[in-house]
Amino acid sequence: MSYAAIQSFMREQKIDGWLLYDFRGSNPILAQLLPGKRWTTRRVMMLIPAEGEARLLVHHIDSGMFKGAAVAQDLYLTWQELRAWVAKQTEGKGRVAMEYAPGGSLPVMGIVDAGTIELVRSCGVDVVSSANLVQVSVAVWSADAVAGHARASKHCARIMLGAFDLIRARLKASAAVNEYEVQQWIVDEFKRAGLETADAPIVGANGHAGDPHFEVSATSPTAIVKGDWILIDLWAREPGEENIFSDITWVGYAGTTVPARHRAVFEAVKAARDAGVACVKRGWDAKQAVQGWQVDDASREQIVKAGFASGIKHRTGHSLSAGPKVHGMGVNIDNLETHDTRELLPGVGFTIEPGAYFADLGVRMEINVYMDPFRGPVVTSCVQDEVEFV
């Protein structure tokens, strides 16, 4: 793997090296920089310098796990040898990046234990966060990932509309339909489309829509009937951890006229979504860096102004990047749960999904955005502008 982009960014940021640390698979970033299934039992380290060749340190017992890895390798046996290697690799370096965030400000980056950070600092270097190095490496979408995400997004849009069609057809025929049936129909459609998903989608009616992480019951599912408010959140991707999830949420109403309060919440959340997109676009057009927290503030302000602040239960969005999880390793749209100062760099992706949740209803309107290096922010998913009537 070429580390040219990482090294260029380090030189720009005056970082002398990136020291990655893993213990028994604790660091998913190292696994993505050195792809391949590996089972390790001892500590592993890799130093990517701002200039020169990267080096990997592996215990003798685990050395076979890294055969074929395109990086120079050193072996160790004792803890003294490990410490000596760290001292040698950091010698003459002023600032070294590791997977940590000062004050626990970014939990997703809190990977390296405090003791290891202390060990590295004892070598006389300043340890800084690797948060933005992660962005320019594992969080950046490849050309294949961009294309695969686009295909997955088309399927997800079709399946979302199909799920509401299923509810509509059942209600029109005065036939029974429940949350679990709709959820399983979506899962089956993912399989038919050749997509994979990390977890089953959310299908929630009324108060269940007011629970951001509602879990559909298979044994006692709730029926969907006339007059119900319905939220559907689904996510899927083409198979493979190198691919990016499409992650979208829509809402619907089983009737012909949306109740006034439901309509007001819907319009507030829609305004919040659009304000988030506008914030990102303004920054790009003005050639100004935009950080995750700024987009969150711009979006959330709309819900607060509309009088629904008590319904805010989460940040405005999360990273979309390659890897095992729907929530990626790049910048989150967040100034609520954390103060995310990472920039929306070219090549990264994220969701914008403001929501407002109450005891009798919930509204979330989730879209996906990709920071195209040439065109700027591009909405890659379907966009809901009106309540879906069923």
Note the pLDDT tens digit of each residue in 308-326: 999 999 999 999 999 888 9
Mean pLDDT of 77-81: 98
For the domain 143-389, what is the CATH superfamily, name and number?
A: Creatinase/methionine aminopeptidase superfamily (3.90.230.10)
pLDDT tens track for 118-148: 999 999 999 999 999 999 999 999 999 999 9
Between CA 53 and CA 186 the distance in angstroms is: 48
**Structural domain spans, the chain:** 4-136, 143-389
Percent of the chain exceeding pLDDT 70 equals: 100
pLDDT higher than threshold 70 for residue 46: yes
Please give the pLDDT value at position 1.
61
Report whether 196 contacts 237 (CB < 8 A).
yes
In sequence order, the 6+-apart residues with CB closer than 8 A to the CB of 260 are none
Rounded to two decimals, the pTM is: 0.93
Between CA 374 and CA 311 the distance in angstroms is: 37
Mean pLDDT of the chain: 96
Please give the pLDDT value at position 81.
98
Report whether 237 contacts 275 (CB < 8 A).
no
Which residues sit opposite 46 in a β-bridge? 20, 56
4-136 and 143-389 agree in CATH topology: no
pLDDT higher than threshold 70 for residue 259: yes
Between CA 297 and CA 272 the distance in angstroms is: 10
pLDDT higher than threshold 90 for residue 257: yes
Mean pLDDT of 81-104: 96
- Count other Cβ atoms within 10 Å, centred on residue 387: 20
Mean pLDDT of 72-76: 96
Banded pLDDT at 191 (limits 50, 70, 90):
very high
Please give the pLDDT value at position 36.
79
pLDDT higher than threshold 70 for residue 26: yes
Banded pLDDT at 116 (limits 50, 70, 90):
very high
Reference 202, options 228, 180, 169, 173; nearest CA is 180
Please give the pLDDT value at position 70.
87
pLDDT higher than threshold 90 for residue 216: yes
Between CA 140 and CA 371 the distance in angstroms is: 9
pLDDT higher than threshold 90 for residue 172: yes
Provide the CATH topology of domain 4-136: Creatine Amidinohydrolase; Chain A, domain 1 (3.40.350)
pLDDT higher than threshold 80 for residue 327: yes
